Chain A
Amino acid sequence: MSSAATTAAAVTTSTLASGRSQDRDLRSLAFLGALWFSLFFGVAVLFALIVDTAISGAPRFDSALFTQYTQTFDPERAEALAATGRDPKDLSAAYTGFRSGIVGSIILMITTALLAIPLGVSAAVYLEEFASKTSRFSKVVEVNLQNLAAVPAVIYGMLAATLMAVVGVQRGIAIGGAVALALLILPVVIITTREALRSVPDEIRQGSLALGATVWQTTWRQTLPSAVPGISTGTILGLSRAIGEAAPLVMIGFGAINFAPEFPFVTSKIEAFPLEIFNAASDSKEVVQQAASAGIIVLLAMILGMNAVAIIIRNKFQRSW
């Protein structure tokens, strides 16, 4: 947010403090009401979404959701279930869990972070601290990044699938998904890191350079540490986007996995949480859809939690110079 805008708002507000009555005619109030509606419409939809999903998923908030794998209909177990007096049709509901998806998504997220953060921060440091702003290279990279930020997610999946085919690895393994997600969030990481570096005042750099530090020493010991809150906010937001993304993983060939990933995890076939929710939601059995609702609440809790952490870091730790 530009400081000019902040000042503008402050001045506008104070200017109007004396003549506020002008704002009170019917049309102004209707306009203000429309703005309030716009601001809170989205939040209201999100609220309705959470409430509706929580109600339909309510019967499935149990530990099986986290501890069990997705189960297919197994006659032996159905018989055992029938013996206890429960409807065998409930089998898939009683035993459907998202263990493989939750484990898989955590592996994916860590691998994605390990790939995207070093690459993204390095690129941002080069563009902000080393490259000349007017060079053709910087301009090309800048336009390219703005474009990449809006390239559809499925296309990143195609890129990663092609890379995997070129390298010659199996489809559906963790590293392929992590590459797709890392490339997807790379523009976000680079753009937010650049903003964080830009907000560090030049006096800090000049002071360091004046004491004889090189440009890299200045960056590593002064600029980067000061920019850490901004960088972590952007990175967490990027990762929260990555964890909920399913489209690129479809292209990589992620499928239903009902076993624990083997060590080392990055070359193991894994399942992703959002993809597992998608499969459960597409199931015709109502009991499985119920599990999907409960899974969505868990996924939303993870993502909203990450967003909350990012917002708190941004508002509490970011220094205003």
Chain B
Amino acid sequence: MTALTQPGPPSGAGPAPVLTARPRPGEAVIKACLMTAAAASVLVTAGILFAVVEPALEFFSRVPAGEFFTSDTDSPYAVYPLIVGTLLTTAIALTVAVPIGLGAAMYLSEYASKRARKWLKPTVELLAGVPSVVYGFFGVFFVIPVVLQGWLGLGISAYNPLGGGLVLGVMIIPTVASLAEDSLSAVPLALRQGSLAMGANRMQTTLRVVFPAALSGIAASAVLGISRAVGETMIVLMVCGSIKNMSLNPGEGHETMTGTIARTALGESPVESTEYKYLFAVALLLFAITFVMNMVSIAIVRRFRQAY
């Protein structure tokens, strides 16, 4: 029965109707085309690696690694100050996005009626649709001068990771909220019913039963939030400043990893110059960081899905 190797119906659709099957070359061609499309996504990853690794290696063949992995802010190729800038921005963004995203997720999953959620969820997700250039503009012309320097009277510089992180945090609220809501919703109903039957109210049920049960998924949402924050470019380019700085004060200007990449690309450096190759070395580090974060997030999600 060679016909059994024919493309089967989707899982759950029962066995394929092999008895009437006759050779259909067209079907095989279509299947091959569709498979190529699916395989293309793997090619994209391979392409990214090639596009970043090749010029990065070229950079390291021209510049000793010691000039790259250094905290010396005078070195034109120092990467540690950029990491400090990125870490500060990310930490502030997460301080905003995790509590607020989690709160929104708890409301959507535990309190909202089906009807309300249908409209509330897209409203929260709208924040992710606003272009990062717009957030950057808002950070430079409103959050830093009006809110931080004006209303709060902070003596901070005109461009800094504090303002950048706050704006970035608002942008990644939906990323955190959406994954956290999925994990809260995945908690079995029996746990809630048990809690309610013991006389707990909705707050107690949410905080003491549903939240601990969904903790791994919530952790995954925070990790994905870190990945988003580290990779965001236009906001940090516009808001965080352009000074290589090792200080941990978020009120001072800091250059970040993505900021350097975009600034170099916008600048006058020729594509073949060492300055331009430098941005690929930074990009390789950036890709490695986000790749690890994404994999951690995916692994956590897999694990908690298997639990229920």
Interface residues of A (CB under 8 A from B): 1-2, 4-13, 15-16, 19, 22-23, 25, 27-28, 31-32, 34-39, 41-43, 45-46, 48-49, 52-53, 56, 118-120, 122-123, 125-133, 137, 140-141, 143-148, 150-159, 161-163, 165, 171, 183, 186-187, 190, 202, 205-206, 209-210, 212, 214-216, 218, 237, 240-241, 243-247, 250-251, 253, 274-275, 277-278, 281-282, 289, 292-293, 296, 299-300, 303-304, 307, 311, 314-315
- Find chain B residues with CB under 8 A from A1 CB: 117, 121, 185
B41 at the interface (CB under 8 A from A): yes
**How distant is A220 from chain B, measured CB to nearest CB, in Å?**
9
B9 at the interface (CB under 8 A from A): yes
**How distant is B84 from chain A, measured CB to nearest CB, in Å?**
18
**How distant is B256 from chain A, measured CB to nearest CB, in Å?**
12
Q: Size range of the interface on B?
A: 35 or more
In the complex, the answer to whether A2 meets B238 with C-beta atoms within 8 Å is: no
Tell me the B179-236 residues at the A interface (CB within 8 Å): 182, 184-189, 192-193, 196, 199, 201-203, 205-207, 224, 227-228, 230-234
B248 at the interface (CB under 8 A from A): no
Partner among A36, A133, A155, A296 whose Cβ is within 8 Å of the Cβ of B286: A155
Task: Give 5 CB contacts A-B under 8 Å.
Answer: A45-B170, A129-B10, A146-B294, A214-B27, A281-B141
**How distant is B240 from chain A, measured CB to nearest CB, in Å?**
14
Stretch touching chain A among B59-67, B69-77, B87-95, B102-110: B102-110
Q: How far is the CA of A247 from the CA of B283 in the complex (A)?
A: 13
The answer to whether A123 and B137 touch (CB under 8 A), given A186-B41, A247-B132, is no
- Find chain A residues with CB under 8 A from B108 CB: 39
A212 nearest in chain B by CB position: B20
- Find chain A residues with CB under 8 A from B286 CB: 152, 154-155
- Find chain B residues with CB under 8 A from A157 CB: 265
Closest 6 CB pairs of A and B: A38-B103, A152-B231, A244-B131, A5-B185, A122-B37, A126-B34
In the complex, the answer to whether A161 meets B51 with C-beta atoms within 8 Å is: yes
Partner among B24, B26, B111, B141 whose Cβ is within 8 Å of the Cβ of A35: B111
The answer to whether A38 and B37 touch (CB under 8 A), given A13-B113, A46-B126, A246-B131, is no
13 more CB-based (< 8 A) A-B contacts, given A244-B131, A246-B233? A2-B186, A8-B187, A9-B114, A15-B193, A39-B120, A56-B141, A151-B294, A155-B287, A165-B271, A215-B27, A246-B132, A246-B133, A307-B122
In the complex, the answer to whether B109 meets A123 with C-beta atoms within 8 Å is: no
In the complex, the answer to whether B231 meets A154 with C-beta atoms within 8 Å is: yes
Tell me the B118-138 residues at the A interface (CB within 8 Å): 118-124, 126-138
Q: How far is the CA of A27 from the CA of B207 in the complex (A)?
A: 12
Q: How far is the CA of A1 from the CA of B184 in the complex (A)?
A: 11
**How distant is A153 from chain B, measured CB to nearest CB, in Å?**
6
B44 at the interface (CB under 8 A from A): yes
B306 at the interface (CB under 8 A from A): no
In the complex, the answer to whether A16 meets B17 with C-beta atoms within 8 Å is: no
- Find chain A residues with CB under 8 A from B109 CB: 5, 9
In the complex, the answer to whether A247 meets B47 with C-beta atoms within 8 Å is: no
Q: How far is the CA of A151 from the CA of B287 in the complex (A)?
A: 7
Q: How far is the CA of A153 from the CA of B262 in the complex (A)?
A: 11
Partner among A39, A56, A278, A296 whose Cβ is within 8 Å of the Cβ of B238: A278
In the complex, the answer to whether A28 meets B201 with C-beta atoms within 8 Å is: yes
Partner among B51, B227, B271 whose Cβ is within 8 Å of the Cβ of A150: B227
B11 at the interface (CB under 8 A from A): yes
The answer to whether A37 and B12 touch (CB under 8 A), given A7-B189, A12-B110, A126-B35, is no
- Find chain A residues with CB under 8 A from B112 CB: 9
